[in-house]
Amino acid sequence: MNIPIIKPNIDRYVDSVKGELVRILKSNMVTNGEKVKALESEICKKFNFANTVALSSCTSGLILGMKELELNSKEIILPSFTFCATAHAASWNNCKLKFVDIEEDTLTIDPEKVKEAITKETKAIIGVHMYGNPCNIKELVKIANDNNLKLIFDAAHAFGSKYEGKYIGGFGDFEVFSCSPTKLFCTIEGGIFTTNNIELSNKMKTSRNYGSPPDYNCETIGLNARMTEINAAIGLEIFKDLDRIIENRNQQAKLYFKELKGIDGIKFQKIRENCSSTYKDFSIFIEEDILGFNRNSLASYLQKKGISTKYYFYPPIHKMQVYKDHNNIKLPITETMSKNVLSLPIYNEFDENVTMTVCEEIKKHINES
């Protein structure tokens, strides 16, 4: 048995995208072309976004977006329970990082902790839509407005998720999605930057191209953060299937809930009321004092059975070696959830047998322990 933690399912698009890739290569126009513009347009149209900028990665979008908001060297509040890129992007801007705890049920940044952490030096808040579950956007917007702070959302996991009926991507000063192979919408590598601010959008289009306008008289210090035509062409093909992909991932999540929810000692992320998740990941949380074994034990058992899992996210950022200056801060909920999290296989193509096999093996381990 071999069940990987993720499967991009890109192979199903080989035949449908092959002709377009050949055409792009024959044209010799592999960047700054029509496919990128078409992808930006399609995303704006479907999600009703004001402005969309396709990039080489979500990380580059965070880095350049913070730079264009003039947050260099400023204090930023952010969660520690997230992928390292959230903090790395702020660090590339030489920001002062102020980590706060998360809500135990939703696993998203706790607005009350944000309020407690604000000082006269604070200039921005970063919220993370964890596993695709939207933050408490309404509260964060209020806090940002009341304190004249910039509000950024790391939406890497949340392509297609909804907050109170509205697609994630139209909130705060900007949001950025990831299109890497671990995400439900994949362009092989890439990122999508969204904002309601047309001026910021135009700046990002310049920044992704080294900060250079057509006359090469650079207006800003940018990066080579362009999405290629090949990446965009693949993205356009997969984008056609987005609704089906989201439904498939939700069906898998429902089956996991159905099979595991009655087990004492296994906890789940709560999806915020009136919101929907696209389940970039499906994670459970192991309570060792109830089950008699820890997360690592279950992961090891599943690995022996050919089932891959991940600790999304362990260690939390404030405990990482690279952020040693923050190692001594206490974030009890973050630390507990990070120590107990286990992310299970979930794919764009729903295979009931895979999900059931994972659940059956988890139950076996419980019965044998």
Task: Say what percent of the chain tops pLDDT 70.
Answer: 100
My answer on whether 166 and 273 are in the same domain is: no
Domain boundary among 239, 254, 270: 239
My answer on whether 31 and 169 are in the same domain is: yes
My answer on whether 204 and 333 are in the same domain is: no
My answer on whether 286 and 216 are in the same domain is: no
pLDDT value for 214: 87
My answer on whether 91 and 220 are in the same domain is: yes
| CB-CB contact of 137 with 127 (8 Å) | yes
My answer on whether 231 and 301 are in the same domain is: no
Is the entire prediction scored with pTM above 0.75?
yes
CATH of residue 114's domain is 3.40.640.10
**Angle formed by the axes of helices 229-239 and 242-260, to 10°?**
60
Instruction: Identify the domain containing residue 262 by its residue range.
Output: 242-368
Q: Is residue 202 included in any domain, yes or no?
A: yes
pLDDT value for 231: 98
pLDDT lower than 50: segments of the chain: none
Q: Is residue 4 included in any domain, yes or no?
A: no
Identify the residue whose tokens are 């296989």: 345
* Tokens encoding 313: 């996210």
DSSP track, 289-329: HHHSS-HHHHHHHHHHTTB--B-TT-S-GGGSGGGGGGTT-
My answer on whether 83 and 155 are in the same domain is: yes
Order of strands across the sheet that contains 166-167: 166-167, 162-163, 275-276
My answer on whether 43 and 158 are in the same domain is: yes
Alpha helices by DSSP H, 129-188: 137-146
My answer on whether 255 and 188 are in the same domain is: no
pLDDT value for 345: 98
d(CA 78, CA 96): 10
Alpha helices by DSSP H, the chain: 14-27, 34-47, 58-68, 84-92, 111-117, 137-146, 198-207, 229-239, 242-260, 288-291, 295-304, 332-340, 352-368
pLDDT value for 153: 98
Please tell me whether the peptide bond between 345 and the residue prior to it is cis, using omega within 30 degrees of 0: no
My answer on whether 255 and 322 are in the same domain is: yes
CATH of residue 317's domain is 3.90.1150.10
Mean pLDDT for all residues in the chain: 97
Number of domains in the chain: 2
Domain boundary among 197, 217, 239: 239
pLDDT value for 80: 98
Q: Is residue 358 included in any domain, yes or no?
A: yes
Cβ-count burial of 222 within 10 angstroms (0-12 exposed, 13-18 middle, 19+ buried)? buried
pLDDT value for 329: 98
